[in-house]
């Protein structure tokens, strides 16, 4: 089984392609587009497979939209390949139009003084939390692949902070939700989901970027998304997310800026 965000190889080992299916898109009817996290996930997966090394960090700049039925070409470049770290770059484009640019480092070293300082907050189990319905949830779209469970805010909790459990549901027997850097890239792009809680009104954002830092990948059904919106200013929003496995292990961190959107109705 291959992951739903995994691109397909071509005869060129440095070029990969991702058909932009409706199941990878978000947005209201008639205005759907490729979810930014899927573009990052596909780019990360292409770089991991092209270099044979796992992701350390990646930062994506979202430049334009890819609509359903488009073909996203993912071109991988590796300007520097050292003994333990490869510096890589991806340009994802539809024809001549650039959609996403990703810079990344990939590699692995022996464990040295391994410790975790970020602590997973005490939260109820997923089954004890309410289901979140997305404003533009299309059962055939990207949001339909994930189940979100809201975690109530604690009295006195920091303003702008929100937490939710999230798990991936296989869309079919040919899909895989195995934990990976790619899947974490998709989940990390839900940073804007914290804006609704921060502003206490229906709001979100169009992502401008996402920087993902991988700590480790571990099997886990649910991922705890601990999101902090830092500020909203000049029509933009800035925030971060810590992603924890159910056992409290930190899987990754992410930070993001976006164009603020306030929804009517």
Angle ∠(101,140,219) on CA atoms, nearest 5 = 65
Q: In terms of DSSP bridges, do strands 55-62 and 33-34 run parallel, antiparallel, or are they unpaired?
A: unpaired
**Per residue of the chain (265 residues), what is the pLDDT tens digit?**
689 999 999 999 999 999 999 999 998 888 899 999 999 999 999 999 999 999 999 999 999 999 999 999 999 999 999 999 999 999 999 999 999 999 999 999 988 888 999 999 999 999 999 998 766 566 788 999 999 999 998 887 888 999 999 999 865 544 558 999 999 999 999 999 999 999 988 899 999 999 999 999 999 999 999 999 999 999 999 999 999 999 999 999 999 999 999 987 5
Q: Give yes or no for a contact between 151 and 123, defined as CB atoms under 8 angstroms apart.
A: yes
Domains of the chain: residue spans and CATH:
2-107 (2.40.160.210), 126-262 (2.40.160.210)
Q: In terms of DSSP bridges, do strands 25-26 and 33-34 run parallel, antiparallel, or are they unpaired?
A: antiparallel
Best CA proximity match to 37, nearest among 26, 28, 49, 29: 26
Distance CA 146, CA 106 (A): 27
Q: Give yes or no for a contact between 65 and 99, defined as CB atoms under 8 angstroms apart.
A: yes
Distance CA 205, CA 164 (A): 18
Q: How would DSSP label each residue in 5-31?
A: TPPEE-SSTTEEEEE--GGGEESSTT-
* Environment class of 191 (CB within 10 Å of its CB; exposed 0-12, middle 13-18, buried 19+): buried
Torsion of CA 195, 197, 199, 205, to 10 degrees: 20
Give Cβ neighbours of residue 236 (< 8 Å, ≥ 6 apart).
208, 257, 258, 259, 260
pLDDT per residue as tens digits for the range 135-184: 656 678 899 999 999 999 888 788 899 999 999 986 554 455 899 999 99
Q: Is the pTM of this model over 0.85?
A: yes
H or E stretch at 195: helix 195-199
Distance CA 179, CA 158 (A): 30
Angle ∠(173,193,188) on CA atoms, nearest 5 = 55
């Amino acid at each position: 089984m291959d992951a739903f965000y995994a691109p397909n190889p071509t005869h060129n080992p440095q070029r990969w392609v991702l058909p932009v299916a409706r199941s990878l898109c978000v947005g209201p009817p008639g205005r759907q587009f490729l979810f930014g996290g899927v573009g990052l996930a596909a780019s990360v997966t292409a770089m991991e497979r092209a270099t044979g090394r796992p992701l350390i960090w990646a930062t994506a700049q979202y430049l334009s939209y890819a609509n359903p039925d488009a073909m996203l070409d993912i071109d991988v470049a590796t300007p520097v390949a050292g003994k333990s770290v490869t510096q890589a770059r991806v340009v994802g484009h539809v024809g001549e139009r650039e959609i996403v640019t990703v810079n990344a480092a990939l590699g692995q070293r022996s464990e040295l003084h391994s410790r975790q300082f970020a602590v997973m907050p005490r939260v109820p189990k997923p089954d004890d939390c309410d289901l979140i319905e997305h404003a533009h949830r299309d059962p055939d779209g990207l949001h339909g692949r994930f189940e979100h469970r809201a975690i109530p805010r604690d009295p006195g909790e920091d303003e702008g902070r929100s937490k939710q459990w999230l798990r991936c549901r296989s869309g079919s027997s040919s899909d895989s939700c195995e934990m990976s850097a790619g899947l974490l890239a998709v989940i990390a792009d839900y940073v804007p989901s914290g804006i609704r809680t921060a502003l206490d009104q229906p709001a979100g954002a169009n992502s401008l970027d996402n920087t993902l830092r991988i700590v480790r990948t571990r099997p886990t059904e649910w991922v705890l998304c601990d999101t902090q919106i830092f500020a909203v200013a000049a029509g933009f929003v800035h925030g971060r997310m810590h992603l924890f496995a159910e056992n409290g292990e930190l899987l990754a961190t992410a930070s993001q800026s976006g164009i603020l959107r306030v929804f009517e109705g």
